DNA sequence: ATGCACAACGCGGAATTTGCGCGCAAGCGC
DNA sequence: GCGCTTGCGCGCAAATTCCGCGTTGTGCAT
């Protein structure tokens, strides 16, 4: 289905993961390929889902959500499709950036942005009330975002 | 410095946060603005840093890093610039996607991608050896990424 | 095994099309 | 009336498509 990436693909991904608006010609110069070849490969990787999205990263403070919280949640493990239901629900919650289903003392870890603690409180209240399978929420307040990003290494 | 966003700006950000390759004309149609106006606003928001980056999101599995870990770390709190040093170091570590400095039972929370547990072990070993101020690491293995993204709500 | 013909693939470059980036005059709000 | 921002038009840069070529790999006959 999706055959392995060659070195050119990896180099292209390394670049567009940092700046996806770069001109194909500039990319081609960096990696030793023509502009049309770069565009062909980009198109292919987009179609195959290797590049799943191309997104703008917006400053949290300017957007009015200066605060970040990390919420660890306990869920009913037995009920497996509780997780599926939670997934569809959480997809629509814009303040919940990321959710991971994990091993350990909590079952779910969520990265949540909010305007202030009051709004965060409202969000957690909604999580609890609209998802009875969530038993408890442990909150960590983020004092500083040391590093942010979605970069994935491609070089083996 | 950076005056507040109006409704047009917010609508543009909502769109480009999901797809930053969309044509300005298409964006303009959605929000009721001409293409050139959209481009002007995008340029301004890029220059002001409201849009801090535009990046391609790459599939983790295809990139050869199918596993994700959430690492909670304990650090020497007294030494404040220990955090600054850690920041500069961690910026260069491609496998460490995100790092948050938090309140609670741990001081730092990191999202880390790896090929397998063996590679993750190497990464944590490097963290410990190259950052003596890190005292201990608590690892949570991610069984499933329920939601991923960097979306920030802009509508108040 | 060796040599050859041929199909498949991906490249670079040219031609075409598309979208961007400016200047400008008009319109809206303060 | 004075900003500021919009919409429009034009020139140009970039993306897309098309085409010819070289390389690779496969099958077949020698």
User: pLDDT band at A1, cuts 50/70/90?
Assistant: low
pLDDT for position B156 = 77
pLDDT for position A76 = 84
Q: Where are the alpha helices (DSSP H) in B17-154?
A: 24-31, 35-47, 81-91, 117-130
Q: What is the pLDDT of residues A48-88, one digit of tens each?
A: 999 999 999 999 999 999 999 999 999 987 677 888 899 99
Interface residues for strand C (CB within 7 Å) are A 8, 28, 32-34, 36-37, 40-41; B 23-25, 35-36, 39, 43
Nearest 10 degrees: CA dihedral of A52, A67, B79, A149?
A: 10
> How many angstroms is C1' of C29 away from CA of B9?
18
pLDDT for position B114 = 98
The whole-model pTM stands at 0.92
- Of all nucleotides, the one whose C1′ comes closest to residue A38's CA is C11
Using an 8 Å Cβ cutoff, are B100 and A145 in contact? yes
* Separation of alpha carbons A122 and A132, rounded Å: 16
Using an 8 Å Cβ cutoff, are B107 and A70 in contact? no
Mutate to test the interface with B, among A38, A100, A144 (most CBs of B within 10 A): A100
Task: Report chain C positions within 7 A of protein CB atoms.
Answer: 10-14, 18-23
Mutate to test the interface with B, among A53, A103, A118, A120 (most CBs of B within 10 A): A53
Q: Judged by CB atoms within 8 Å, which residues 120-139 of A form the interface with B? A: 138-139
- How many angstroms away from the CA of A156 is the closest CA of chain B? 8
Q: Which residues contact A2 (CB under 8 A, 6 or more apart)?
A: A48, A49, A50, B62
Closest CA to A127 of A139, A116, A115: A139
pLDDT for position B91 = 97
Length of chain B, in residues:
156
Determine whether A79 is exposed, middle or buried from the number of CB atoms within 10 Å of its CB (0-12, 13-18, 19+): exposed
Residue B70 at interface with chain A, using a CB cutoff of 8 Å: yes
B87 touches strand D (CB under 7 A): no
Q: What is the DSSP string of B55-66?
A: EEEE-TTTTT--
Chains A–B, number of C-beta pairs less than 8 Å apart: 232
* Separation of alpha carbons B88 and B55, rounded Å: 21
A34 touches strand D (CB under 7 A): no
Q: What is the pLDDT of residues A93-149, one digit of tens each?
A: 999 999 999 999 999 999 999 999 999 999 999 999 999 999 999 999 999 999 999
Any idea which residue has 């909502």 for tokens? B14
pLDDT for position B78 = 67
B123 contacts in A (CB within 8 Å)?
none
Using an 8 Å Cβ cutoff, are B109 and B70 in contact? yes
Sites in chain B below the pLDDT cut of 70: 1-3, 78-79
Q: How many CB atoms lie within 10 A of CB A21?
A: 14
pLDDT for position A59 = 96
Using the beta-carbon criterion (under 8 Å), do A53 and B87 form an inter-chain contact?
no
Using the beta-carbon criterion (under 8 Å), do B57 and A65 form an inter-chain contact?
no
Q: Which residues contact A92 (CB under 8 A, 6 or more apart)?
A: none
Strand partners, A144: B101
């Amino acid at each position: 289905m999706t055959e392995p990436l060659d070195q050119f693909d990896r180099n292209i991904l390394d670049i567009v993961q940092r700046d996806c608006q770069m001109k194909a010609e500039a990319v081609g110069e960096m990696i030793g390929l023509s502009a049309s070849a770069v565009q062909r490969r980009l198109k292919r990787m987009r179609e195959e889902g290797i590049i799943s999205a191309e997104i703008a990263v917006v400053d949290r403070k300017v957007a009015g959500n200066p605060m970040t919280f990390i919420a660890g949640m306990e869920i009913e493990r037995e009920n497996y499709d509780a997780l599926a239901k939670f997934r569809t629900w959480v997809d629509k919650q814009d303040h919940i950036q990321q959710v991971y289903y994990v091993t350990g003392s909590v079952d779910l870890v969520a990265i949540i942005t909010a305007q202030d603690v009051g709004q965060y409180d409202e969000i957690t209240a909604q999580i609890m009330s609209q998802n009875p399978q969530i038993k408890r929420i442990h909150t960590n307040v983020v004092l500083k975002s040391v590093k942010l990003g979605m970069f994935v290494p491609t070089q083996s």
